[in-house]
Amino acid sequence: MKKLFSNLRSYLPVLLIIVFINPQIVAAQGGVLIETLPSTKADGTINIYGRGTLSNKIPYDKITGSAFWKAEWQTATLIGRNKKERWEQEVKLNMASHEIYYRKPNGEEEVVNEGLVKIVQFHQPNDPQNITSSFLNGITEPYISEVPIKALIQILNEGKYQLLKMDNRKLMEGDSLFGTMKRYYFKNEVKYFLANNYVVNPLKKLNKETILQMAPAGKNEQEWILQNKVDFKKEADIVRYLNQLNASK
């Protein structure tokens, strides 16, 4: 027994070091979700509902993790309500507030006004046809959803059947070691949807039964699934299957 306690004491300093280096581990225990609000201004803070005498803004540098889809600025075309409304900008996507940030030529950061942009298409600089990723800014025409969705949603493939991905960054609050102060961190929450001719439905699970129920396979597709060892629990494999299905229509 004495030897056991001696061994535990020898590991204690290491455990304390791990906790202090990575406070998110502690914060994640019993974390509380904080509801965020649109920022409307790129001032380095995230807006939250007021909590009495506490500030309703939290600086991003006080939060563990990133609110943005990509940390670096990327070239994108912002598409408005019609094809004529197009603007090429350096863009970042805030997945916590679901807002589009853009950078002016002078380096100043701004937030796109709500409702102005419907689609964000990332591409190589000066080559808008070479699209690398596309996002919907909420579900709007021609897409239809029974439940309104106001979030940035990635379009993972084109065609009749499309896999859509919502990558939320939930702001969480937790106590630090011994509860002496508050810690804030972002928690990823991924949700998937399947669009059939622009009609969007949520996917409760990524599995073979769910996908084939919403995007049925014919005889040729069933053989293709077996030959290509498609794993319907994997995003990339579902995209492969939908592309194959779309090509056969």
What's the predicted TM-score (pTM) here? 0.82
* pLDDT of 153 over the 80 cut: yes
Name the least confident of 48-57, 69-78, 164-173, 228-237. Answer: 48-57
Mean pLDDT confidence for 207-212: 96
Backbone region of residue 65 per phi and psi (left: phi > 0; alpha: psi in -120 to 50; beta: other values): left
The per-residue pLDDT of the chain, averaged, comes to 85
Give the pLDDT confidence of 93-129 residue by residue, as tens digits: 999 999 999 998 888 999 999 889 999 999 998 898 9
Q: Which two tokens stand for residue 239?
A: 């995209």
* pLDDT of 23 over the 60 cut: no
Q: Among candidates 72, 74, 163, which has minimal Cα distance to 120?
A: 74
* pLDDT of 79 over the 90 cut: yes
Q: Residue 249 in contact with residue 160, Cβ under 8 Å?
A: yes
Higher-confidence residue: 34 or 200?
200
> Domain residue spans in the chain?
19-203, 205-249
Higher-confidence residue: 194 or 19?
194
Q: How does residue 18 score in pLDDT terms, banded at 50, 70 and 90?
A: very low
Task: Supply the DSSP string of 133-179, one letter for each residue.
Answer: EEEEESS-TT-EESS---SEEEE---SSEEEEEEEEEEEEEEE-GGG
CA distance linking residue 123 with residue 148, whole number of Å = 28
pLDDT of res. 180: 64
pLDDT of res. 114: 87
* pLDDT of 3 over the 80 cut: no
